Amino acid sequence: MRLDERVRYMLLIYSSAESWNGMSADERRAIGTGHAELVRQLGASGEYVSGGGLADPSLTATVKVRDDAIEATDGPFAEAKEHLAGYYVVDVPDQEAAVAIAARMPDARYVAVEVRPVSTQM
């Protein structure tokens, strides 16, 4: 990779009802304002590509096609304690930079943030 090349990483925020319900109203507000500030900083530095929060997993539909038949079920595919709650896509020089941003995310103090390169092949 050339020094001027950058890589896109998806920062996946995992949460659970237990972790969210265990927070005070002030802690929840701090997470929201923390995200707003981080997005502002990453936008100013040119590292922010996109991001967003996801609705409650109970509103999820999972779609599979088997033998040309569409199967759509309510809820997430896997019953798990934690669920994907939101994401950022960042454009940075390397994984180390993406990990540093993930560590700045307010959720990282409470739940996991996964750092994964975005594939350039699709």
Measure the CA–CA gap between 82 and 102, rounded to whole angstroms. Answer: 18
CATH of domain 7-50+78-117: 3.30.70.1060
Kindly report, residue by residue over 52-98, the tens digit of the pLDDT.
Answer: 999 888 888 888 899 999 998 887 666 667 888 999 999 999 999 99
**pLDDT one-digit tens code per residue, 9-62:** 999 999 888 888 899 999 999 999 999 999 999 999 999 999 999 988 888 888
For the chain, the structural domain boundaries read: 7-50+78-117
Within 8 A by CB and 6+ apart from 78, the residues are none
